[in-house]
């Protein structure tokens, strides 16, 4: 389908006719003249200039050139088929702990022990893929918090950046307060009803410049909802040189602080002891924060004005060229 962006420009089409009608009439000189023909006048094959100027094909070419020029000025556009656009559901920021304790291998994937970060990538990656219509961002934190991916509809890139993260990349300690503060800063200008932070950590706040509860109060004031996820297995019996002994891989996990952070912002605290529980947590997050289903279509537009403009210029150039040659022959 073709449409014109400025159709009112077609009102200029009668302009050459108006210019012709409004042009003052040429006055003929009065008087008589006696013309004596010479033999050369009868041998000339070139028609008189007056006849050449009245050639009808030149008039028609000039009119066609003018119509094409006006059509190009009206900005013709080719409308494509409607394309569905991703619609904003939530502004969702994912904050992932990369501190040294995340290398603890107390998770299983396909019956193989893996560290906590690998399990997080395994489950969180699928969660990111399901958030069609949401803007997803990624924060990585250790001793400092870093924005790895700003809010974007490009879920594939966010998942790739998460998979490329490594334990210790941001330091060995845990700055939970800095991660929350950075999320507040990046989400502050977004819609208060749709701002969500999912914070995953296996420890307590041991670094950073911002106190977690102070950052939480700011988050609550700005309308940011925080879901916290505590990662790590419970106490278990393991074999050692001296027999079996009990170990607690999650001894450094500050569940009370994570629960307080979630409750203060209207969110919820989850405990992920294994990959099954982590999958259930993300399924619960899908239920608690559903993607907004709205339909928004966009019709791509392609400008067509270069074609009539180029053709009009070609015709005008041809007319000018024939005019110059005609004058030379005269």
Per-residue pLDDT of 268-300, as tens digits, reads 999 888 788 888 888 888 887 776 555 556 667
Tell me: pLDDT of 48 over 60: no
**Is there a contact between 175 and 144 (Cβ–Cβ < 8 Å)?**
yes
- What beta strand segments (E) does 67-111 contain? 76-79, 83-84, 91-97, 107-109
Tell me: pLDDT of 168 over 80: yes
- For CA atoms 40, 43, 45, 50, the dihedral sign is positive
Q: Which residues does residue 113 pair with via DSSP β-bridges, in sequence order?
A: 108
- Residue ranges of the alpha helices (H) in 164-274? 176-187, 212-221, 255-264
Task: Using the structure block, give the residue that is written with the tokens 């990959």.
Answer: 275
Of the pLDDT bands very low, low, confident and very high (cuts 50, 70, 90), residue 132 is: confident
Angle subtended at Cα 218 by Cα 217 and Cα 223, rounded to the nearest 5 degrees? 100
- Residue ranges of the alpha helices (H) in the chain? 15-22, 39-43, 49-53, 56-73, 116-130, 155-163, 176-187, 212-221, 255-264, 275-288, 306-329
Measure CA 74 to chain center: 29
How much is the pLDDT for 294? 54
Furthest-apart CA pair in the chain: how many Å?
138
CB-CB neighbours of 61 under 10 Å: 16
Six token digits for residue 310 = 């180029």
Helix (H) or strand (E) holding 151: strand 145-152
Q: Work out the average pLDDT over 60-73.
A: 88
Q: Domain segments of the chain: what residues?
A: 91-288
- Higher-confidence residue of 315 and 183: namely 183
Tell me: pLDDT of 83 over 80: no
Q: Work out the average pLDDT over 231-253.
A: 61
**Is there a contact between 184 and 214 (Cβ–Cβ < 8 Å)?**
no
CATH topology of domain 91-288: Rossmann fold (3.40.50)
Measure CA 138 to chain center: 16
In 3D, which of 194, 215, 207 has the Cα closest to residue 290?
A: 194
Angle subtended at Cα 290 by Cα 285 and Cα 292, rounded to the nearest 5 degrees? 155
**Is there a contact between 138 and 151 (Cβ–Cβ < 8 Å)?**
no
């Amino acid at each position: 389908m073709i449409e014109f962006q400025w159709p009112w420009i077609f009102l200029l089409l009668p302009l050459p006719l108006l210019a012709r009608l409004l042009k003052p009439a040429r006055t003929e000189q009065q008087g008589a003249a006696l013309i004596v023909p010479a033999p050369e006048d009868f041998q000339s094959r070139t028609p008189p200039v007056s006849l050449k100027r009245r050639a009808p094909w030149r008039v028609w070419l000039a009119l066609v050139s003018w119509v094409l020029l006006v059509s190009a000025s009206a900005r013709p556009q080719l409308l494509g088929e409607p394309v569905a656009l991703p619609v904003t559901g939530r502004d969702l920021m994912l904050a992932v702990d990369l501190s040294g304790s995340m290398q603890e291998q107390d998770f299983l994937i396909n019956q193989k022990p893996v560290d906590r970060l690998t399990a997080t990538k395994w489950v969180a990656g699928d969660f990111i893929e399901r958030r069609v219509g949401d803007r997803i961002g990624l924060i990585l934190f250790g001793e400092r918090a870093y924005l790895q991916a700003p809010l974007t509809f490009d879920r594939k890139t966010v998942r790739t950046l998460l998979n490329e993260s490594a334990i210790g990349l941001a330091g060995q300690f845990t700055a939970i307060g800095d991660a929350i503060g950075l999320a507040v800063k990046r989400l502050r200008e977004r819609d208060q009803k749709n701002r969500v932070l999912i914070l995953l950590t296996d420890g307590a706040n041991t670094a950073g410049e911002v106190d977690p509860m102070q950052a939480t109060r700011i988050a609550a004031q700005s309308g940011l909802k925080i879901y916290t996820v505590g990662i790590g297995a419970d106490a278990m019996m393991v074999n050692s040189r001296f027999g079996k002994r009990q170990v607690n891989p999650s001894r450094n996990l500050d569940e009370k602080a994570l629960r307080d952070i979630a409750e203060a912002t209207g969110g919820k605290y989850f405990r992920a002891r294994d990959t099954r529980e982590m999958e259930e947590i993300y399924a619960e997050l899908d239920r608690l924060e559903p993607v907004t289903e709205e339909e928004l279509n966009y019709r791509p537009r392609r400008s067509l004005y270069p074609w009539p403009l180029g053709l009009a210029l070609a015709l005008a150039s041809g007319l000018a060229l024939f005019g110059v040659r005609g004058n030379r022959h005269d």
